[in-house]
Amino acid sequence: MARAKKTVTPRVRKADAARVILSLGDDVSTDVIYPGRFMATVLPSETPALAFADHAEFQAAVKAKAIPKGAVIAGGENFGCGSSREQAASCLKGHDVVVVARSFARIFLQNAINLGLNVVVAPGFTADEGDSISFEGGGVENLTKRTAFDVVPLPFARQAIIDAGGLIAFTRARLMARA
């Protein structure tokens, strides 16, 4: 008997609208997210300080500790393309942001899931910095521009890993439940 694939809507903070703190275009490389010259710094506690290291405004917000939890980074197609460096997802996870993009590069998406980074795939999504975003009813709404976008839900197992805080936390919880 074939089982239906179960999918869920991304779990992101729904009570309040989130602000877009960074709006990027298509093909945002992992080299832009986490430059290669910092590869000697790999600890998850240290990588967030180096997120978008060459983006002056974002770095100013990092230094001022002005990136609110749940803030949105808006991306276009193929977000996270380039290398397979895990630090690109890790540095964003450290800020507890939500990355909403039209599509994600395959390896970046898997790294994001494994680390518990909130990612939302919304094929038509557009937003500018400062826009107010809401995650309601299985979609994404840009409250500033009064536009709504459908979401492509991640498969249930992948979303469950994100919801648990990453693959290690997910596995730990499953093992503890069996004990």
Q: What is the value of pTM for the model shown? A: 0.90
Residue found under tokens 């979303």: 159
Tell me if 100 sits within 8 A of 70, measured CB to CB.
no
Q: End-to-end distance of the chain based on CA atoms, in angstroms?
A: 30
Per-residue confidence in pLDDT tens, the chain, 179 aa: 333 333 344 555 445 799 999 999 999 999 999 999 998 877 888 899 999 999 999 999 999 999 999 999 999 999 999 988 899 999 999 999 999 999 999 999 999 999 999 999 999 999 999 999 999 888 999 999 999 999 999 999 999 999 999 999 999 999 998 87
Q: Considering all CA atoms of the chain, what is the largest pairwise distance in Å, rounded to the nearest integer?
A: 56
Answer whether residue 171 is part of any domain. no
Residue found under tokens 């240290």: 46
The per-residue pLDDT for 12 is 53
Answer whether residue 73 is part of any domain. yes
Answer whether residue 159 is part of any domain. no
The per-residue pLDDT for 30 is 96
- Cα separation, 120 vs 128, in Å, equals 16
CATH (domain of 73): 3.20.19.10
DSSP designation for 110: H
Residues 156-159: contacts with CB under 8 Å, at least 24 apart = 156/5, 156/6, 156/7, 156/8, 158/113, 159/7, 159/8, 159/10, 159/11
Cross-strand partners of 104: 79
Answer whether residue 30 is part of any domain. yes
The per-residue pLDDT for 11 is 53
**Which tokens in the block code for residue 45?**
């506690």
Which range of residues forms the domain containing residue 95? 18-152
User: How many domains, in total, are found in the chain?
Assistant: 1
Answer whether residue 161 is part of any domain. no
Tell me if 112 sits within 8 A of 84, measured CB to CB.
no
Cross-strand partners of 100: 74, 120
The per-residue pLDDT for 1 is 38
Answer whether residue 79 is part of any domain. yes
For residue 173, give the amino acid letter.
Answer: A
